[in-house]
Structure 1
Amino acid sequence: MMPKQPEPEPGNDGTGIGTDGWHRGRRLMLPLSNHTSSTYTALTSPISCARRRRLISLPPNTKAGRMILLILALLLGFFLHYMWKAEAALSKPWKPDDSSLAFSQRPLPPPSNEALLSSAGYKLPLRTKGRDIVDQNGKRFKLSSVNWYGASDELFIPGGLDVQHRDVIASTIRSLGFNSVRMPYSDEMVISNPEVPLRLLAANQDLVGKRALDVFEATVTALTDAGLAVIVNNHITTATWCCGADPCDAGWANDFLPGSLCRVRQTEAQWIDHWVTVMNRFVDNPLVIGADLRNEVRGLWGTMPWERWAAAAERAGNALLGINSDWLIIVGGTESGNDLTGVKRRPVELDVANRLVYSAHVYSWSGWGSMGGRYSKRTYASFVKAMRQNWGYLVEENLAPVWIGEFGAPDRPGIGDANYWQNLLRYLKAIDADFGYWAINPRKPKDNEKESYSLVEDDWVTPVLDYRMKDMTELMRQ
């Protein structure tokens, strides 16, 4: 006797398809009509699926299968060869144009004192008006900045203090025509605040025995004594070169990560406390004009929500404005600092009006993963389209200031480097942008590796006069 088959569930005819027309269990939300239900049942049955696999697959041990695999391998090989040739072409040495060669043979033009914030032409404090940073009389102060790094790295202090006195380096920066300096620090520097080894202060004997925060303060003071404005930047949590793939340093806080993952753990509240510790030293220095809240906030594969970062930036910015309401609060874009598209839907709002400046970073490798590719290979039209979409709209539509707080190129560029540089500087000149070049340093801190982006020789005095200084001098003097 045949066992009795179980009755179908209510609303189910036993085929796996509900009487309401929806397939159950597979969650393939395909409505069925009377004339398609039998076809659908056949296509979703195990037997039918096996038949279809046999119909559409060719085993590799057949002649046709081997031919298809060979064709696919050839196509992949051609594609990889094309990509290799394209990358090799971008790496070919670029020959400087005649104007760059001529610039390198002449002395650097003397800097203009009128560009200095300390000159009689400006009345502090600064504020923002539309796309510009202005003084109390509405006169624009254009940030023509350079980065001086080191305090964010393993040695905890700005580079070069073993080579030249800080006053000499400040004078060098001024002689290059810059009117402001971005000074990065790490949270680990604030937390540990170690005593600085004597060898790192060989040219600054008056700082021997001081701790890292004291050296940082003395260096900033040397810059402002030279008439240069300073923007302090929280660069990274762990004292190291930025920016790698370590999730512990990708954002301003990392306490949501497993406890053993991060050598330096930090909550948002601690991040803000570190900011307060640093900036309390500069409350009475009017040429320390602002705080660049965090360097290149990012998430894995573009997963850092702008809204989350904007809210944290407001909390940190308002805490600092509570100490000194004259400071500019600088908020960088997400994803390597280049993306400010989120401002359209969610602008940053501070407790003090007219203090907000946005920042973007633009390098030759930026743009990777996008349809247009890296900026090193783009046409000018494609490059400008990306800039306008990411951050340029804020400037061109007179919505808010955007400071290009990092960009740079090597002293011996490839064709791709030169293409990126020419496109970027052409656009920066077209919109008369505020900018901050990376970097003045001739050597990287940890292993004393040569810094190819440097603007000075190893003596921290002799300028590197090439295509970069030529274009930036033109941008400064607009």
Structure 2
Amino acid sequence: MKRSLILICLLLLIWGTVSVAVAGATSKADPPAFSGIGYWHTSGTQILDDRGQPIRIAAVTWYGMESSYWVPAGLDFQPYTKIMDSVRHLGYNAIRLPYSNELVERNPIVTTKVAANPTFSRAHAMQVLDSIVAYAQRIGLKIILDNHRGRAGRPKHINVLEEAKWYSKGYPEKSWIADWTKLAQRYRHSNAVIGFDLRNEPHTNGPGPWNLHAYLHQGAVWGPYRGKVDTSSDWRLAAQRASNAVLKVNPHLLIFVQGVQLYPDPREPMGVSSYWWSGILTPVKKYPVILRVPHQLVYSPHDWGPRKWSFPWFKNMSYASMQRVWHGKWSFLLDAPKESYAAPLWLGEFGTCTTGPQCVSDERPDNQAAWFQIIIRFLREHREVGWAFYALNGTNSNDKVADNGLLNAKWNEVSVPGLQASLASVQR
């Protein structure tokens, strides 16, 4: 009997050690409270949980399902349940999950990239998504579905976005809306699916220069220009059409609407303000998104540091200077929570590299680490702003090591403890 008890204790100890390693629990933070069994909604610039209490969406993007492998990356290395357990144990309450319209419409059979998940081999892609949603419900995570692209990304061009607008010849707007409606119907009884990120990064197609002509004719616009509305390019109106179709099926979903890349501004030399794809929400004051169901709208800019592109505002960068930049593009929405155009902000993509100390902790004038710590400070001082770190991935869809992932290449630990510590400081 004594030997049996000793054996049992040893097994429990081993199991616990393995569980911590797989969860990547290098942070001292306790796992988050259960995210609630209900849906979330908005009030002014706050997101509220099912009990009416303010809640911050602290998410990670887990990409890969938008590729022609049809599954999130990492499934060659770890069971999907272990990856999702890691997300929860590290303190996040949601996963942003990109997908393609091609996946929804074809529902293809999965044939590869699932070595650690043999039950997914020969399964249909939507069955994989069903499993992820069901497990999220079980462990208290929320899922935000992100329509990342129309045609799935192929291996040779896995991260190249082919469409500036929310539609293309192969995937017209009516299909885009129909696919969203289909997903709303499929998951209408699962409040693990908390919201829909309607389209990833509406922007302006090249080539430049980025001027008024490019804004009006080469991609997504927001609202009328000089009184004229172009319904084929007005992202705001398209977002309203898709949102209202979705909310007719499930009125409880949060609707995340991203911004645009360019917007007319006569003060600028080229006649337009230019920023990151989806990063400009300036026209919201005059032309807000109006939904058939109130208290479900969230605006979602994306923002990046100098590693992505060396814009002029990164020279002599400071917290005050970056606050001015953000306020001019999107954070102004926090100023007036009682205005008719008010809605919460969710920083749907931001991130940094994981290749060295210059990415996170070694702050030097105008470098990536300095920018990253500035945006972490902003999030620390504005707890009502939600966010999704890009990305969870230790590898991309081609199983190549990622240089910006929260997890390592084996998907079993965090890649940079300092990165996790910074993100943990703004999870609540």
Please state which band the TM-score falls in when normalised by the shorter chain: 0.7 to 0.9
Shift of residue 190 of structure 1?
2.0
2:115 is aligned with 1:202: yes
Q: Distance in 1 between matches of 2:245 and 2:70?
A: 25
What residue in structure 1 maps to residue 324 of structure 2?
A: 385
Classify 1:133/1:253 alpha carbon distance in 2 versus 1 (closer, same or farther; 3 Å). Answer: same
Give the C-alpha shift of residue 226 in structure 1. 1.5
Q: Say if 1:171 and 1:377 are closer, same or farther in 2 by CA, change over 3 A.
A: farther
Residue correspondence of structure 1 range 54-73 to structure 2 within 5 A: none
TM-score of the pair, normalised by structure 2: 0.77
2: distance between equivalents of 1:408 and 1:290?
A: 21
The change in CA–CA distance for 1:306 and 1:109 in structure 2 (over 3 A counts) is same
- Cα-Cα RMSD: 2.2
Deviation at residue 426 of structure 1 after TM alignment: 1.3
* C-alpha separation in 1, matches of 2:411 and 2:57: 22
1 CA distance for matches of 2:307 and 2:41? Answer: 30
Check the 8 A contact 2:222/2:283 in 1, yes or no. yes
1:353 aligns with 2:304: no
Q: Distance in 2 between matches of 1:397 and 1:461?
A: 43
Question: Residue 99 of structure 1 aligns with which residue?
Answer: none
State which of 397, 403, 407 in structure 1 corresponds to 2:346: 403
Aligned residue in 1 for 2:256: 330
* Structure of greater Rg: 1
- Contact 2:353/2:404, CA 8 A, preserved across alignment: yes
Counterpart Cα distance in 1 of 2:380 and 2:243: 30
- Between the aligned partners of 1:107 and 1:168, the Cα distance in structure 2 is 15
Deviation at 1:287, TM superposition (A): 1.6
Is the CA contact 1:145–1:179 (under 8 Å) kept in the aligned structure 2? Answer: yes
Match of 2:197 in 1: 292
Q: 1:305 aligns with which of 217, 221, 225?
A: 221
Question: Alignment length, in residue pairs?
Answer: 352
Deviation at 1:400, TM superposition (A): 1.4
Report the identity percentage.
Answer: 30
Provide Cα deviations, 1:127-148, integer angstroms capped at 9, x if missing partner.
1001111134420121010111
Q: Which of 91, 106, 130 is equivalent to 1:217?
A: 130
- Inter-partner Cα distance in structure 1 for 2:260 and 2:379: 20
- CA distance in structure 2 between the aligned counterparts of 1:376 and 1:454, rounded to whole angstroms: 26
- In 1, Cα distance between the equivalents of 2:409 and 2:260? 34
Larger RCO of the pair (alpha carbons < 8 Å, separation 6+)? 2
CA distance in 2, matches of 1:375, 1:112: 35
Instruction: Show the counterpart of 1:233.
Output: 146
Task: Structure 1 unaligned segments of length 5 or more: list them.
Answer: 1-105, 256-264
In the TM superposition, residue 453 of structure 1 has moved relative to its aligned partner by 1.1
Give the superposition deviation at 1:475.
0.9
Q: What CA distance in whole angstroms lies between the structure 2 residues aligned with 1:292 and 1:242?
A: 20
CA contact (8 A) 1:238 1:249 kept: no
Measured in 2, the distance between the counterparts of 1:440 and 1:283 equals 26
- 1:445: which partner in 2? 397
TM-score by length of 1: 0.69
> Which of 165, 186, 190 lines up with 2:104 in the alignment?
190
> 270-279 or 143-152: which moved more?
270-279
Amino acid paired to 1:117: S
Counterpart-to-counterpart distance in 1, 2:289 and 2:35 = 26
> What does residue 61 of structure 2 align with?
147
Q: How far apart, in 2, do the equivalents of 1:233 and 1:360 lie?
A: 13
- The 1:305/1:461 distance shift into structure 2, 3 A limit, reads same
Q: Deviations over 1:94-133 (max 9, x none)?
A: xxxxxxxxxxxx941143443x313xxxx73321001111
Which range moves more in the overlay, 292-301 or 413-422? 413-422
Structure 2 residue identity aligned to 1:283: R
* Residue of structure 2 in register with 1:427 after alignment: 378
Q: Quote the residue 1:108 is aligned against.
A: 27
Contact 2:31 2:90 in 1 (8 A): no
